[in-house]
Amino acid sequence: MVTLGLDVGGTKVLGIVLDEAGAIVAEHQEPTRRDADGLMERLQAVAAALREQNPDVTAVGVGLPGLVDRAGTLRFAPNLPGIVELPVGPGLSEALGIAVQAENDATCAAWAEHQLGAAAGTDTALLVTLGTGIGGGLVVDGLLVRGANGFAGEIGHMVVDDGGIPCPCGRRGCWERYASGSALDREARDLVAGGGGARLVELAGGDPRRVTGVQVTAAAAEGDPDARDVLDRFADWFALGLANLIHVIDPSRCVVGGGLVAAGDVVLGPIRTALGETRLIAPEHRPPVEVVPASLGPRAGAIGAALLARDVQPG
Ligand SMILES: [Zn+2]
C-alpha cells in the first residue's frame, strides 16, 4: 500500500510518499501559511504535486500542530492563533477526492518512531519532541494512545510551575515553557543579558543577539561552565516532566526528538542523570528507563501520517 503523509511545521508543509516497505519514494514541500484558507491551499498543493508523480497513492495522512479530533477537525492550535475549528481532514478529502486521516503531528511522529524508528521493538514507549514547544506521543501496550477525543499526548502543556511563565495556550507554567528548544534559547539569552556566557557570544560570531541553544550545547560540549549550568537546569526541568509521564505510563524507552537532540549525549546525558538521581520514585527498584534520541529526524511526523493513512478505507 502506497500512502502520502503531510506534516504542517512552523515554516513548511512537508509531504512524502511512503511505499509498502516504509521507504520514502517522493518528497515535496512548500512554505507554511498561517491562515485557514492558506493552510488548506498549501496542503492541497503539496498533496496534488506528489499524487501527480505517484498515482498509486491510496490514502493521505496529515499531521497538525494542535488538538485534532477524531473527525479530523483541527480544533485549536496554540502556535497558529488564527486557526480554530478547521475541518482539515474532511475538507482535504473533498478537495482531493481521496480518504484523508488527520491527527496531531506529535502523535504521528510517535507512531513513526514506534513502527520504524528508535522505539521499534518496544511495547510501551514515550516520544517527546523538543521544538518551539514540546510535542508528545504515547504508545502503551503496543497501541497508539489517542484518547476519547483524539487529544491525548498534550504533554507540553502539563503544568510544572503553577502560576509560572505564560504559555501560548493561555495558561501559565506549562512544561514546554521550561524544557523546550525555545526555553533553552531564552535561558541562553538571559545568561548573556546578565553578563555571563562569554564563550556563547564568541561561538555566535561575537553578536550576543545571535546566541541561542545551539551555542549552549556547543559550549557545554567543550566543558564551558556557564553553558553546563544552563544545560543542567534545563535537564532538571526536562527530567521533572519526563518523570511525571514515566510514573503514568511506565515506558521501557523514552525517545527524544527535535533539533536539540542532534547534540546527542551533551543534552541527553544530564537528562539521564537528573532523571535517575532525583526525579523517579524508587529508582533502585525499577529497571532503568532508556532515554534515546529519535532516529527518523524531521520527517518523523510525515512518515507517521503516511503510516496512519494505511488504516483508513480508500475513498
Ligand atoms: Zn501551555
Please give the distance, rounded to the nearest whole angstrom, from the Cα atom of residue 189 to the centre of ligand 1. 21
Query: How far does the chain reach from its first CA to its final CA, in angstroms?
Result: 14
Calculate how far, in angstroms, residue 167's C-alpha sits from the geometric centre of ligand 1.
Answer: 5
Output the CA 175–ligand 1 centroid distance in Å: 7
d(CA 242, CA 265): 17
| 171 CA to centre of ligand 1 in angstroms | 6
Query: How many A from CA of 81 to the centre of ligand 1?
Result: 13
Distance from residue 161's CA to the centre of ligand 1 (Å): 11
- Produce one character per residue of 84-119: b if its CB has 16 or more CB atoms within 10 Å, e if not: eebbbbebbbeebebbbbbbbbbbbbbbbbbbbbbb
Are 268 and 261 within 8 A, CB to CB?
yes
Whole-number pLDDT of residue 54: 97
Intervals of the chain under pLDDT 70: 313-315
Cα 186 to ligand 1 centre (Å): 16
Q: Which of 242, 243, 241, 211 is nearest to 227 (CA)?
A: 211
What nine digits make up the cell of 44?
A: 492541497
Give residue 160 CA to ligand 1 midpoint distance, Å.
10
Give the three cell numbers for residue 198.
562569554
pLDDT of residue 79: 81
Ligand 1: distance of its center to the CA of 180 in Å?
A: 12
Position 184 scores a pLDDT of 95
Q: What share of the chain is helix, strand, coil (3-state, %, to 5)?
A: 45, 20, 35
Whole-number pLDDT of residue 315: 54
Taking the CA atoms of residue 240, residue 241, residue 247 and residue 248 in that order, the dihedral angle to the nearest 10 degrees is 160
Distance (Å) from CA 154 to ligand 1 centroid: 9
From the CA of 257, how far away is ligand 1's center (Å)?
Answer: 19
How much is the pTM?
0.93
What pLDDT shows up at residue 314?
A: 62
CA of 169 to the centre of ligand 1 (A): 4
pLDDT at residue number 262? 84
What would the grid cell of residue 200 be? 556563547
